[in-house]
Structure formats: structure tokens, C-alpha cells
């Protein structure tokens, strides 16, 4: 009985450690990403283009996951989030040039609200959100098809629908990842950090798109 209690206690301590390290690294990578985004905006760096962005995104994400069990994984995580911050620069520049700095602030506030709301819900209720995995996979397929279709169709309405779906999908991903951490399904804080960061990035960019469209109207 004592051994079972000890094992349970160790598991709880390990889970709290992963959660703490995840939020700590997430905070640092978000700050670093904000710095690279600011530099990219101030110096008006050119957009990397769709192909380079995809190569950089998936290449650095693969590298981060490959090195996640070593200290080098932390450097890879900073390279990944820094690159995405740089990619944000041209987007932010276009909003600032159009006099829509308030839209950026609203998107940041909305992103923070979604993240803290979803995280607080899971951490407070400690509900197992593993049932979302099937819906997340279905949502990913729907989003992939919609994104590919809109490359050819270029429909504003479809673009807005994709942005809204990305917000819902990413909110679900935050719920699922946070639950996965506290229930011991994710034991690597570097992988968890990257997963949460991508969700936050997608929510922010999608809110920029939706709020920017509403502001233009």
C-alpha cells in the first residue's frame, strides 16, 4: 500500500514538473518570438513566401521533436518559435501600415483569453479531454482540404471560415494538450511547449484575419 502511494506521489510530482517546465519554456519562447516579430516589423524584412515558410515550419518542428529528449531540443524550440516570429513581421507591418494597430492588440487579447480560459478549465476540473483526439483528427483533415481548396478558389468567405475553424481547432488542441500533460500522457515539456505555441500562433493569426476583415468593413 505504501509503495502504491509512493508511486502515485512520484507520478504527481513528475506531472507538475512537466507542466511547470512547459509553461516556463512557453513564456520564454513567446517572448523570443515577440522580439523576432518586432525586429522583422521594424526593419521591414521581406515575407519568406509560402514555400520557405512551410519548409522552415515543418523542418524546424521535425528538428525540435527529434531533439526533444536532449538539451539541444530547447535551442531547436527557440529556433522554431523565432522563425515563426519573423514570419509574423510582414503581417504585422501590413496592419500597422493600414492604421490597424488596435486590431493587433485585440488579437493578442483574444489569444490570451482563449489560452487562459482553456487552460484554467482543464487545470481546475482536471477533466480528461482525450475524447477530443478523434474530433481533432477529423478537424485537421477538414482544415487541410479547405486550405488547399482556397489556394485555387481564393474565396474571401472560405478564408474567413478557415480562420474561424482554426480558432476552434486550436482551442481544442490547447484543451487536449493540457489534459494530456496533467494526466501523464505527455512527459516531454519541449514537445508540449511547441504544441501549445503552434495553437497560440494559429489563434493569433486567425483572429488578425477575422478582426482585420471586420475592421475593413
Closest to 128 in 3D by CA, of 70, 69, 79, 182: 182
pLDDT of residue 2: 47
Residue 165: its H or E element: helix 156-182
CA 93 to chain centre: 21
Which residues constitute the domain of residue 89?
2-216
pLDDT at 11 over 70: no
Nearest-angstrom CA–CA distance, 133 and 207:
24
14, three cell numbers: 513528475
Question: CB neighbours (10 Å) of residue 32?
Answer: 16
Q: How far apart are the first and last CA of the chain?
A: 66
Encode pLDDT of 29-83 as tens digits: 999 999 999 999 999 899 888 889 989 999 999 999 999 999 999 999 999 999 9
pLDDT at 8 over 80: no
Nearest-angstrom CA–CA distance, 151 and 135:
24
Residues 6+ apart with CB under 8 A from 64: 73, 76, 77, 79, 80, 190, 191, 194
Query: What's the Cα-to-Cα distance from 67 to each of 20, 40, 188, rounded to whole Å?
Result: 20, 27, 11
Residues 6+ apart with CB under 8 A from 119: 174, 178
pLDDT of residue 12: 67
pLDDT of residue 16: 87
Nearest-angstrom CA–CA distance, 15 and 17:
5
5 pLDDT band, cuts 50/70/90, is very low
Nearest-angstrom CA–CA distance, 210 and 69:
38
What radius of gyration, in Å, describes the C-alpha atoms of the chain?
18
pLDDT at 3 over 60: no
pTM of the model: 0.92
Encode pLDDT of 145-192 as tens digits: 998 888 888 888 888 999 999 999 999 999 999 999 998 888 999 999
Encode pLDDT of 197-213 as tens digits: 999 999 999 999 999 98
Taking the CA atoms of residue 108, residue 110, residue 111 and residue 114 in that order, the dihedral angle to the nearest 10 degrees is 160
Nearest-angstrom CA–CA distance, 105 and 215:
13
Please give the average per-residue pLDDT across 114-118, as a whole number: 96
- DSSP assigned state of 127: -
Encode pLDDT of 12-24 as tens digits: 677 889 999 999 9
The total of structural domains in the chain comes to: 1
Amino acid at each position: 500500500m505504501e509503495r502504491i502511494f509512493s508511486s502515485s506521489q512520484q507520478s504527481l510530482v513528475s506531472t507538475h514538473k512537466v507542466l511547470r517546465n512547459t509553461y516556463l519554456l512557453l513564456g520564454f519562447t513567446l517572448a523570443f518570438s515577440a522580439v523576432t516579430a518586432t525586429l522583422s516589423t521594424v526593419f521591414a524584412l521581406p515575407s519568406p513566401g509560402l514555400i520557405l515558410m512551410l519548409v522552415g515550419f515543418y523542418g524546424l518542428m521535425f528538428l525540435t521533436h527529434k531533439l526533444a529528449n536532449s538539451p539541444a531540443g530547447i535551442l531547436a524550440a527557440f529556433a522554431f518559435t523565432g522563425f515563426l516570429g519573423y514570419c509574423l513581421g510582414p503581417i504585422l507591418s501590413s496592419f500597422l501600415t493600414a492604421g490597424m494597430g488596435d486590431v493587433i492588440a485585440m488579437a493578442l487579447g483574444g489569444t490570451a483569453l482563449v489560452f487562459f480560459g482553456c487552460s484554467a478549465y482543464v487545470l481546475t476540473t482536471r477533466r480528461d479531454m482525450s475524447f477530443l483526439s478523434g474530433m481533432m483528427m477529423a478537424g485537421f483533415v477538414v482544415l487541410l482540404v479547405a486550405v488547399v481548396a482556397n489556394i485555387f478558389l481564393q474565396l474571401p468567405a472560405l478564408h474567413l471560415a478557415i480562420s474561424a475553424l482554426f480558432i476552434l481547432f486550436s482551442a481544442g488542441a490547447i484543451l487536449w494538450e493540457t489534459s494530456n500533460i496533467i494526466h501523464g500522457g505527455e512527459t516531454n515539456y519541449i514537445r508540449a511547449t511547441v504544441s501549445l505555441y503552434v495553437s497560440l500562433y494559429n489563434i493569433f493569426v486567425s483572429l488578425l484575419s477575422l478582426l482585420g476583415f471586420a475592421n475593413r468593413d
